[in-house]
Amino acid sequence: MAPTWTDLYESHQGELNVGHVDCTSDLGKSLCQLYEIRGYPTLLYFSPDPAHNDSFFKYQGPRSIDALEKFALTSEWKKADKQDLPQLLEGVAYYQRQVMIFAQDLAREIDYGYESFGLKDSLPSPVRYGLVIALCCSPVILLVILLFVCDDGYTPPVTNVEQARPKPANRASAKSEKIE
């Protein structure tokens, strides 16, 4: 990806501002967390159009220089996944945002799976999501059924050693039986 990125920068210095951030460096970590970068490389496009100053666009296409030029120099970026510029969230708002991101990532992965098997048009999106969630939750549901519904009177083995050993007969009574 680095050579393609460098070629894009060199061939469009007057038209595009091209940059990169190392998310593993101390300076880059906070920026990558703010923009919720989860995989590498992640390509973000910030439009010079004032109407889009409050948002950015995630590029999901091929990593060739031709595809990147088409995306950035034509209106192709308007078709991309638009996201609002991040805000510094705290408390419950932060966790709500994380749940939303997880749900979006999960939906994207489910759609990708159906698309890769050629089943994209076979089921509507809500049915696909419900089916996958049901399949993921089915082991838990089966465990609950086994634990609470299938009670056949089973009693667990005794774990106390004193209860498990037979009690010896009283020695005094045993001696008196031998004498008689």
For the whole model, what pTM was predicted? Answer: 0.48
Given this model, what pLDDT does residue 90 score? 74
Q: Which amino acid is present at 174?
A: A
pLDDT one digit per residue (tens) for the chain, 180 residues: 777 878 887 887 777 788 888 888 888 888 887 777 877 788 888 888 777 778 888 888 888 888 888 888 887 888 887 877 777 767 787 788 788 888 888 888 888 888 888 888 888 888 888 888 888 888 888 888 888 776 666 666 666 666 556 666 565 555 555 555
Domains of the chain: 1-86 (3.40.30.10), 89-152 (no CATH)
Residue with tokens 């399949």: 135
Given this model, what pLDDT does residue 177 score? 55
Given this model, what pLDDT does residue 73 score? 81
3-state secondary structure of 180: coil
Of 110, 8, 126, nearest in space to 59 by CA: 8
Given this model, what pLDDT does residue 176 score? 54
- What is the residue-wise DSSP string for the chain? -HHHHHHHHHHTTTT-------TTSHHHHHHHHHTT--SSS-EEE--S-GGGTTEEEEE-S--SHHHHHHHHHSGGGGGSEEEEPP----HHHHHHHHHHHHHHHHHHHHHHHHHHTT-TTTS-HHHHHHHHHHHHHHHHHHHHHHHHT------PPP--HHHHSPPPPPHHHHHHHHH-
Q: Which amino acid is present at 153?
A: G
Given this model, what pLDDT does residue 151 score? 65
